[in-house]
Structure formats: structure tokens, C-alpha cells
Amino acid sequence: MTANMAWPGGRNVRDLGGRALRDGGVTRSGLVFRSAAPEHLTDAGWAAARATGIRTVVDLRNAPTETGRTADHPVIRADSLDGLVFVAAPTEDPDDAEFLRVCGPWLDHPRSWADNARLAPARVAGAVRAVAAARPAVLVHCAGGRDRTGMICAMLLVLAGATADAVVDDYADGWRGAGAYEGHGWVYDLQRQTWDRRHLPAAEPAELDRQVAERVPAVREWIRTFDTEAFLRSAGLSGPELDTLRALLRPLSGS
């Protein structure tokens, strides 16, 4: 498991660096980070993130339903966000009935990643494009930092040439990191056909073990069957954008 970054208030914050590559070595550190909703960061937390190099924050959540500050979040100074660029890049359409039927009532399992990409190719590719266009370092996040963040980070790791085990481990770490916190989240009520904000308790370690074990085969199946580069090309990413993404996490030549 990669270490949680020491950003005060930060939840499920990790660096995509240090993951094994198929041709040897590990992914570069300090360029791409992943987390849960960053509204939990304190002023000191944002200062630590900026000191790490964060300049762009790519938000995979749906606005306005999931975004915005609440009473659960610390009050921060406006200048804590100076110099940061926030990019809205939702990966799904929560009003799409087919998405809710196939992937829903919310994306919480890697078996749905391929369907999410099929149903919302422009949105998923747009999130990856936002990383390619970002001024590094970049933070990618959703609400809990589990499946939406896990899906986009898996694509980044695959493009970098990470091993299957590295992709699986990154997903598992993100799932465990999300489950370690209690809080509130938006849950779709199938009977009422509406989104509700509900309290979500922290999961017990044994339950997290069970959840991860149940999901790992689906991550491996996605790695085996989903062609990330072909998907992104078909969704409109250019050759230079893909070159940028492939190189993003690769070790520097000679290092």
C-alpha cells in the first residue's frame, strides 16, 4: 500500500508514483495524485498540497449535486486556493436512465467501468484529457476517491505501462482509503428516482477486505479486455495528448 499523503484534513490522498512498470522501474512520483473530495482539506492541508506541487485539481463529481462546501467541511481562507486551477470533468451522467440501470445507482464497482466508458465516452475521455492538459502536479478526485477516481487512474497507469498488479493495488488502496472514513454521500433512491444525501459510516477492516476481494477480479478483467488507448483515440484524444499521458508517469530517461 502506498502511504497516505500528510495533507491536514485530506482524505484518501495518494501519489500515483511508485507503482511497478512492466519494463522495470516504477511510475514517477510527484506528478499525479488522487484523493476523496478535497473540501475536507484545511488551510494547512491546501498549503501542503501546493507545497507538493499541486497546481491543477480535476473534479470527477457531478455538479451541483455533489459539489460545494457543507457544514462537514472546514472553513478555509480564500488565499489558500491561490494559484490553483479547478477543472470540472464529470465521468458520468446521473440523469441517464441507462447508466443508472447498468452502472447504478452509482458507480461503485469496476465491473461497470467499461459500461461507463461506453455510455459516456466524451465525459470519460474528457476527464483523461483534463489530466493531459493540466499544469502538473495534478490532483484527480471524486467524492470518496474509489471508483471514478480509480477508473481514471487505472487508465493513466495502463497508458504508462504499469503492471496489472500495480493497477489492482492502486485500486485496492483507493477503495480501502475511502472506506476508512465516515461522512455523507449522495445515494440514488431507485424507488423514489431521486438523489438523497445520506450518512455513510466507516467500514470495518474485515468488510473492506471482503469488498476488495470481490472487486479485484473485475479490475483484472477490465485490464485484460478494455483497450484504454483505443478507447481514448475513438473518443477524440489526439496523438500528442496520448504521448503526453504515456510519458506523464514514466521515469525520466537515465533515472
In this prediction, residues 106-113 reach a mean pLDDT of 91
pLDDT per residue as tens digits for the range 170-192: 999 999 999 988 765 666 666 66
For residue 199, the model assigns a pLDDT of 63
Is the pLDDT at 135 greater than 80? The verdict is yes
Q: How confident is the model at residue 200 (pLDDT cuts 50, 70, 90)?
A: confident
Q: Is residue 108 over pLDDT 70?
A: yes
**Residue 253: how many other CB atoms lie within 10 Å:** 5
The pLDDT of residue 2 is: 53
The mean pLDDT value of the chain amounts to: 92
Q: In the prediction, which pLDDT does 254 show?
A: 52
Q: How far apart are CA 152 and CA 150, in angstroms?
A: 6
Model confidence at 86: pLDDT above 90: yes
Poorest-pLDDT segment among 17-21, 107-111, 151-155: 107-111
Question: Residue 190's pLDDT is what?
Answer: 61
Is the model's pLDDT at 1 over the cut of 50? Answer: no
Q: Which residue bears the cell 483534463?
A: 130
Looking at the predicted structure, is the pLDDT value of residue 71 above 50? yes
3-state secondary structure the chain: CCCCCCCCCCCCCEECCCCEECCCCECCCCCEEEECCHHHCCHHHHHHHHHHCCCEEEECCCCCCCCCCCCCCCCCCHHHHCCCEEEECCCCCCCCHHHHHHCCCCCCCHHHHHHHHHHCHHHHHHHHHHHHHCCCCEEEECCCCCHHHHHHHHHHHHHHCECHHHHHHHHHHHHHHHHCCCEEEEEEECCCCEEEEEEECCCCHHHHHHHHHHHHHHHHHHHHHCCHHHHHHHCCCCHHHHHHHHHHCCCCCCC
Mean pLDDT, range 124-130, rounded to an integer: 98
Neighbours of 75 (CB within 10 A): 7
The percentage of residues in the chain with a pLDDT greater than 90, rounded to a whole number, is: 77
Q: Given this model, what pLDDT does residue 253 score? A: 67
- Identify the pLDDT of residue 189: 63
pLDDT of residue 185: 61
- Which are the contacts of 72, defined by CB distance < 8 A and separation ≥ 6? 40, 183, 184
In the structure grid, which three cell numbers stand for residue 14, read together? 495518494
Q: What was the pLDDT predicted at 132? A: 97
Asked whether 80 and 45 are in contact (CB, 8 A), the reply is no
Residue 194 pairs with which residues in a beta bridge? Answer: 189
- Choice among 57-66, 120-129, 196-205 with the minimum mean pLDDT: 196-205
Q: Which residue has the cell 484529457?
A: 129
**pLDDT at residue 69 in the model:** 86
pLDDT (average), residues 107-114: 94
